Structure 1
Amino acid sequence: MPEDFPRIAFSNSYADLPPRFYAEVAPTPVRAPRNIRVNEALAVELGLDPAALGSEAGTAMLAGNAVPEGATPLAMAYAGHQFGGWSPQLGDGRAILLGEVIDRDGQRRDVQLKGSGRTPFSRMGDGRAWLGPVLREYVVSEAMAALGIPTTRALAAVTTGETVVREAPLPGAVLARVASSHIRVGTFQYFFARNDIEALRLLADHVIARHYPEIPPSDGRALELLRAICARQAGLVAQWMGVGFIHGVMNTDNTAVSGETIDYGPCAFMDVYHPDTVFSSIDRQGRYAYRNQPVLIQWNLAQLASAMLPLLGPDKDATVAAAQAVIDAVPDMYHDAWLTVFRRKFGLREARDGDPAFIVQVLDAMAGAEADFTQTFRALSEGTPLPPALADARAAWVQRLANEGATPEVRQQEMQAVNPAIIPRNHVVEAMITSAVAGDFAPFHALTEALASPFEAPADSPYRAAPAAGEEVLQTFCGT
């Protein structure tokens, strides 16, 4: 290896699982890789050298042209429900896990290359990614991290010097993605569908050791794992709702058991608030609309519970009842998390019985007034005027604040710490992608840097503006 080749101390626990958990496969080299951006702060967090990652040798590694020492490249096997339809075998069709590292906080993290070529799970796909979705995932995942929402991260993006054919010939790219793990609800479904109880047990043990070490050894540990995953996912979706985020493809193979947001395809943040908002071009029935996300996460978790039934005990009736009780509790888990999120957005320190009705009242008024979701909450937190159509909603908020302990100054500080001034607005992201395809990456770098501080953007930041008439982006697309 060249002297400037990145030195990565891999520690690969998933590769130690039996071979039926994955397919060993190396990335497919590309013609002429070029670095777009290395996430220097994340690299340091992982104990990696940003300069080495940005070097010619590092770019070759990030593109898949060279495999670093200690890596065990593999494509993970999993199944899943996609828009409610069952697929017994999916797996990583265009992503290859290089290996795992222990970060500076002692946490295990996956390093994966997305768009790195065909695998045994590619089916009819080319295993590649084009530049647009790579930059979208980089921007949105890093924005989510800055917003404090659990998410996969973007370590680097590189171009390939090759063309990817979708609706038209497009420039190819590879994203280096970091996650607590890439284990999904669909991973459990994969082995349940094959009646591979041994693999289910190994997988559950691996997930507990990696993500839920607080669960003690006991006969009921599988049920506790199910409950813990449900709580994390319910809390995650509540956080999505608090920033107006719509995932777009909440399939079971896109639901991580770690509780992180994963697989940023046709995702988007709302501009105008409406609970029926859908952006994904492939979600023609509105299955994953904003308002449906809490319902669909319960549905996904019910599929996880079904796949875990063989681990819950020998008495079928008892295990079904126990699993059903956990799934039945998911709406309450979500509701409690949602209330916490929105009380903070409204600057409410005390919990009162009428809060759910008050929050819905304001949201309904926002929908009727076609108010911008982000701007409305930021205006409340900054004390700036709201549109006249929201006068009654503001009055209800002022009335609800009566007898709350915080001073107006403290309340504004607290609200500004949870209500972002800027988000990755669709029209800005699309304009950035258009510029990048034309060879200009300056808008990408500027947007990425601005979104690193979403709560602190100055009043004159261009990223605070809602789209003007004719700028709205109403549909987003999957990168495959």
Structure 2
Amino acid sequence: MKELRFDNLFVRELPADPVLGRHVRQVHGACYSRVEPTPVRAPALLAWSPEVAALLGLDEADVRSQQFAEVFGGNALLPGMEPYAACYGGHQFGNWAGQLGDGRAITLGEAINLQGQRWELQLKGAGPTPYSRRADGRAVLRSSIREFLCSEAMHHLGVPTTRALSLVATGEQVVRDMFYDGHPRPEPGAVVCRVAPSFIRFGNFEIFASRGEEPLLERLIDFTIARDFPALAAERDPVARRVAWFEEVCRRTAVLLAHWMRVGFVHGVMNTDNMSILGLTIDYGPYGWIDDFDPEWTPNTTDAAGRRYRFGHQPRIAQWNLWQLANAVYPVLQQVEPLERALVGYAELHEAEYRRMMGAKLGLASWRAGATDDDTHGDGYLLDELHRILQAGEMDMTLFFRRLADLDVAEPDPVLFETGLDAGVFYAEARRAAVARDFAAWLRRYAVRVAEEGVPVEARRARMNAVNPLYVPRNYLAQQAIDAAEQGDLGELETLFDVLRKPYEAQPGRERFAAKRPDWARDKAGCSMLSCSS
């Protein structure tokens, strides 16, 4: 296996926990604790991403070597690696939770590739750390497969995300209570190697603000700007530089949330410790994908009562999380107005980006605003009415937009609904009949709007198919791959992973991966809602 070059700025420039060892403790005055992965019985490579390997300068021979499995399973270190677990806090479900930290994630180091790019390599499920609380620091195969698949699927969908290099089996069993119902059972363990320019999250700043450790908070902010936001580092005035940084965090988060809404992704656990400072999708736990369009749906069983993190509420939660970040950095900035302006800017930019992306999904070259939000002549009304019909009709969001591109709406057709959109996008025939009239009216209005732009049918179809995926990692597809992998069959995982690398291209022979959720998966464990157990 080729050697990697490491330049570990985080551990070199920020203070470490002076106490060594894995024992659980409160860590004060430090950004991280030095801790090595705990070796496993029999590390074996299960899956890997060719694209991420290439980013690091690795090829297939490197990845398939036993040394690779040993390193990325947690049994060995490469020269230059300096493993650690980060200290951070967070708001969980709206409440301050105090110190959290990397309870089962261990960063190996910051690799520098041939292009000079910095990539932090982090093992998830690599054993206990000082932040593990009462847990064992391990991860099960089912959650590891889900993270591996979705990290890479999101990248290929064009959504900002952390990446996944590899999935390694540990050869050991991990006991988990999947349903939190008092019936734990042993499951196969696994380790995912996550890759990102940085894994710093909102909670890294919150913990120091909560403890009044302002000098360390200031140091972390300036370090983050210098390493991860180099374009802002040229600003000589420290307050202006930090304000510009917070504005950029708000901007990236606004764009990220618009992407989530565009593809129908629901994070499930939008706690502040799960929000990337780089505006990346991070920490894939009980996430889900909108099958039938429902803004009120959450994939997280823990959130079933309050639905705080439901699909349609995600943009507001992101702004709430940014408010908590603003509160955390205020002691260093000591200025309220710039922070408030940035938070308002988040809402404005998110709305603009969302409209632009949804307009593209509809095949519109430009967004036509109405005189008011509910102006029936504006595209906002067209989109809102469509969302109402999609929900009332219990229609599959992904398949609907893909089928819409295939409809020739150059001339309004009163029977377009019956002839152009088959039952394949509906989850209940009764719902299809209930919205037939409203949907036919919407299609006629939509046809007029498309005609106004004068885009040829083929050009419109190509443009829409470029932004409307045909394949997304639906929960039931991931669960099928998990079920097979737990029985030793990796074929389904390999095929699904390959399909998700080309989400916008029709792949003959793989139609089953572009089908709506089957009835048997509506309430099956892992196929709809999930717990945080992993």
Which category of TM-score, normalised to the shorter sequence, fits these structures? over 0.9
Measured in 2, the distance between the counterparts of 1:126 and 1:392 equals: 57
> Quick one: which of 299, 303, 318 aligns to 1:283?
303
Partner of 1:217: 236
Segments of 4+ in structure 1 off by > 6 A?
none
> Quick one: which of 305, 322, 332 aligns to 1:311?
332
Q: Indicate whether 1:331 and 2:347 are aligned.
A: yes
**CA offsets per residue over residues 170-221 of structure 1, 9 Å max, x none?**
0000001101210000001011112122222221122222332222232311
Measured in 2, the distance between the counterparts of 1:105 and 1:404 equals: 42
Q: C-alpha displacement at 1:399, in angstroms?
A: 1.8
Q: C-alpha displacement at 1:104, in angstroms?
A: 4.4
Q: C-alpha displacement at 1:386, in angstroms?
A: 2.0
Q: Indicate whether 1:18 and 2:15 are aligned.
A: yes
> Quick one: which of 455, 462, 466 aligns to 2:516?
466
Partner of 2:215: 198
The question of whether the paired residues in 2 share the 8 Å contact of 1:73 and 1:99 is answered with yes
Partner of 1:418: 467
Measured in 2, the distance between the counterparts of 1:161 and 1:382 equals: 48
> Quick one: which of 359, 363, 374 aligns to 1:347?
363
Measured in 2, the distance between the counterparts of 1:293 and 1:105 equals: 35
Code of the aligned partner of 2:501: A
Partner of 2:248: 228
> Quick one: which of 118, 121, 125 aligns to 1:111?
121
Partner of 1:298: 319
Measured in 2, the distance between the counterparts of 1:450 and 1:104 equals: 29
> Quick one: which of 484, 489, 498 aligns to 1:435?
484
Code of the aligned partner of 2:110: E
Q: Indicate whether 1:162 and 2:145 are aligned.
A: no
Code of the aligned partner of 2:337: A
Measured in 2, the distance between the counterparts of 1:379 and 1:308 equals: 46
**CA offsets per residue over residues 282-333 of structure 1, 9 Å max, x none?**
11210000011011000000000000102214xxxxx123322222332212
Code of the aligned partner of 1:196: E
Could you say what secondary structure the match of 1:109 adopts? strand
What runs of 5+ residues in structure 2 fail to find an aligned partner? Answer: 17-29, 178-184, 370-377, 409-419, 423-431
Q: C-alpha displacement at 1:459, in angstroms?
A: 6.0
Change (3 A) 1:104 1:396: farther
**CA offsets per residue over residues 10-45 of structure 1, 9 Å max, x none?**
111111111111000000000111110121221111
Partner of 1:476: 530
Measured in 2, the distance between the counterparts of 1:22 and 1:117 equals: 16
Measured in 2, the distance between the counterparts of 1:18 and 1:129 equals: 28
Could you say what secondary structure the match of 2:225 adopts? helix
Could you say what secondary structure the match of 2:231 adopts? coil
Partner of 2:75: 65
Greater gyration radius: 2
Measured in 2, the distance between the counterparts of 1:101 and 1:453 equals: 27
Code of the aligned partner of 2:491: A
Measured in 1, the distance between the counterparts of 2:442 and 2:487 equals: 45
Measured in 1, the distance between the counterparts of 2:142 and 2:533 equals: 8
Identical aligned residues as a percent: 40
The question of whether the paired residues in 2 share the 8 Å contact of 1:220 and 1:312 is answered with no
Partner of 1:176: 193
The TM-score, its normalising length taken from structure 1, stands at 0.95
Q: C-alpha displacement at 1:105, in angstroms?
A: 4.1
| CA RMSD across the alignment | 1.4
The question of whether the paired residues in 2 share the 8 Å contact of 1:44 and 1:50 is answered with no
Measured in 2, the distance between the counterparts of 1:275 and 1:148 equals: 22
Partner of 2:4: 8
The question of whether the paired residues in 2 share the 8 Å contact of 1:450 and 1:457 is answered with no
Partner of 2:24: none
The question of whether the paired residues in 2 share the 8 Å contact of 1:7 and 1:48 is answered with no
> Quick one: which of 123, 137, 142 aligns to 2:147?
137
Q: C-alpha displacement at 1:118, in angstroms?
A: 0.2
Partner of 1:95: 105
> Quick one: which of 438, 441, 452 aligns to 2:501?
452
The question of whether the paired residues in 2 share the 8 Å contact of 1:28 and 1:117 is answered with yes
Partner of 1:153: 163
Could you say what secondary structure the match of 1:257 adopts? coil
The question of whether the paired residues in 1 share the 8 Å contact of 2:265 and 2:311 is answered with yes
**CA offsets per residue over residues 111-144 of structure 1, 9 Å max, x none?**
0000000000000010000000000011111110
Measured in 1, the distance between the counterparts of 2:123 and 2:446 equals: 47
Partner of 1:375: 399
Measured in 1, the distance between the counterparts of 2:533 and 2:176 equals: 9
Q: C-alpha displacement at 1:383, in angstroms?
A: 2.6
Partner of 1:269: 289
Paired residues for 1:39-50 under 5 Å: 39-50=49-60
More divergent stretch after superposition (283-292 vs 201-210): 201-210
More divergent stretch after superposition (37-46 vs 409-418): 37-46
Measured in 2, the distance between the counterparts of 1:104 and 1:237 equals: 32
The question of whether the paired residues in 1 share the 8 Å contact of 2:521 and 2:528 is answered with no
**CA offsets per residue over residues 438-466 of structure 1, 9 Å max, x none?**
11111000000010000002365210101
What runs of 5+ residues in structure 1 fail to find an aligned partner? Answer: 314-318
Change (3 A) 1:364 1:15: same
Measured in 1, the distance between the counterparts of 2:267 and 2:92 equals: 13
Could you say what secondary structure the match of 1:80 adopts? strand
Could you say what secondary structure the match of 1:329 adopts? helix
Partner of 1:56: 66
**Number of residue equivalences:** 471
The question of whether the paired residues in 1 share the 8 Å contact of 2:356 and 2:366 is answered with no
Measured in 2, the distance between the counterparts of 1:392 and 1:245 equals: 28
The question of whether the paired residues in 1 share the 8 Å contact of 2:476 and 2:528 is answered with no
Partner of 1:245: 265
Code of the aligned partner of 1:46: L
The question of whether the paired residues in 1 share the 8 Å contact of 2:5 and 2:113 is answered with no
